[in-house]
Amino acid sequence: MPDGDEAAGTSTGGTLTPAALRAWPLPEPTGGKDARGGVLVVGGARRTPGAAMLAGLAALRVGAGRLTLAVAGSLAPHVAVAVPEAGVVGLPEDAHGSVTGAGDGVLDGELARADVVVVGPGLDAPDGTLAVLRAVVAGTAGDVPLVLDAFALGVLPDAQDLHEALRGRTVLTPNATEMTYLLGLDDGADEDGVDDGAAARAAGRYGVVVACAGAVAAPDGRRWRSSTGYSGLGTSGSGDVLAGAVGGLLARGADPAQAACFGVEAHGTAGDRLAARVGPQGYLARELLDELPRVLVELRVR
């Protein structure tokens, strides 16, 4: 068991260790799939359907009960076959397969019943992403948690009309490049500006929880740092897994800061285990998925 100082400090900031996280236990929902929460992932342009699928599967792997994937319409039948655990909704797209928006009410029913919405994995066009993001904000109650990733982060600085509606219920999961856009650093070109305080600056600017490169920050000033993570996590699809894992933990009932902390630590620990088994680099993002439930079992209170 953690000592008194460690247990008291977990939810207020510090290093994310297994002992510390056990002192901040996740909600343990019981019952059927609806009791464990439903996640809607909105993403998946024609060229990048895997991003939405990875995010959705990660949400299920950390314990969410129900999954819906909203992807480019031409992909929907194929994604439904590839991910039989998910319901699939087709979104309007342009001739290049980029999602152009949420359509004429096509997402209304899913937004109304979703417990969490993850926006961004696999989207590839700014205008369409912004239209989707606006539809998600308009179609969800103000207390429904959101996770923004990838292109949804790139359009956020220009979506001033949405900032107030995102405050207090949103988790951002940027990589270093995306963080530069969020902070307005040299048009996204200067990753050297992404230091240990970057997540805290972004959290304060947008009023949300931010998880970036093993750091988690809340808008109230709390900060955490993961003790895990090899460079192998910097691989295609890894960020989609993190975004989905955070979404799944939110669906289970964790608050944004707790979901981000557990998501970051589980993601990093999964990478550590694959680094030991496969090599520091070279493992695949899809391989992280199988590790997530095992890691979370070990982070339960004993």
At residue 7, does pLDDT exceed 50? no
Q: What's the pLDDT at 194?
A: 65
Instruction: Write the DSSP string, 129-145.
Output: HHHHHHHHHHHS-TTS-
At residue 124, does pLDDT exceed 70? yes
Q: What's the pLDDT at 12?
A: 78
Strand 209-212 relative to strand 14-16, pairing: unpaired
Rounded to an integer, the average pLDDT of 66-77 is 97
Q: E strands within the chain?
A: 14-16, 38-42, 66-72, 87-91, 116-119, 146-148, 170-172, 209-212, 215-217, 223-226
Planar angle of CA 119, 154, 47, nearest 5 degrees: 65
pLDDT class of 253 with cuts at 50, 70, 90 = very high
Distance CA 81, CA 141 (A): 31
Model confidence over 34-48: pLDDT tens digits?
888 999 999 999 999
Long-range interactions of 101-109: CB distance < 8 A, separation 24+: 101/128, 101/131, 101/132, 101/135, 102/42, 102/70, 102/131, 102/132, 102/135, 102/136, 102/139, 107/40, 107/42, 107/70, 107/135, 107/136, 107/139, 108/139
pLDDT class of 27 with cuts at 50, 70, 90 = very high
Distance CA 144, CA 151 (A): 20
Residue 48 amino acid letter = T
Q: What's the pLDDT at 208?
A: 98
What is the phi/psi pair of residue 86, to 5°? Answer: -110, 145
Model confidence over 255-279: pLDDT tens digits?
999 999 999 999 999 999 999 999 9
In three-state secondary structure terms, 259 is: helix
